Amino acid sequence: MNDLDKRKLFSALCHGAIFFSAALVSIGIPIALMFISNDPVVKDNAKESLNFHINLYIYAAIFGLLALVLIGLPLLILLGIASFVLPIMAIIQVLGNPDRPYRYPFIYRLV
């Protein structure tokens, strides 16, 4: 497997990790790839994926609290939809253009 194929595979794996489980595996895969890989694009995709996961947990906690007063329920539904659609868009983007890391919209980059 050449470097471009590895880059595509690892970058897609970083963004697709959210579909494996809700917590440990979805965060563990990007962390492992961030430390194992020497490719800067893969590392950037792993960091972006981690930031997306962290933001999802923060938004879910906030919207969950708001759902208690029925304001956050539509926001919680939108967050659920975004947690499926945005990683799929990221996977398509990194497979189509493996030289640039994908950037999720509307997230805070903490890592």
pLDDT (average), residues 16-21: 87
- Range(s) of the domain holding residue 19: 3-96
Residues 6+ apart with CB under 8 A from 78: none
What's the number of domains the chain is made of? 1
Is there a domain that residue 111 lies in?
no
Q: Is residue 72 one of the residues assigned to a domain?
A: yes
Report whether pLDDT(85) > 90.
Answer: yes
Indicate whether 46 belongs to any domain.
yes
Mean pLDDT of 42-66: 91
Q: Please indicate, yes or no, whether the overall pTM of this predicted structure exceeds 0.85.
A: yes
What's the chain's average pLDDT? 89
DSSP state letter for 18: G
| Helix or strand run (H / E) with residue 54 | helix 40-67
User: 56 in a domain, yes or no?
Assistant: yes
Residue 16: is its pLDDT beyond 70?
yes
End-to-end CA distance of the chain: 30
Q: What is the average per-residue pLDDT within 17-27?
A: 82
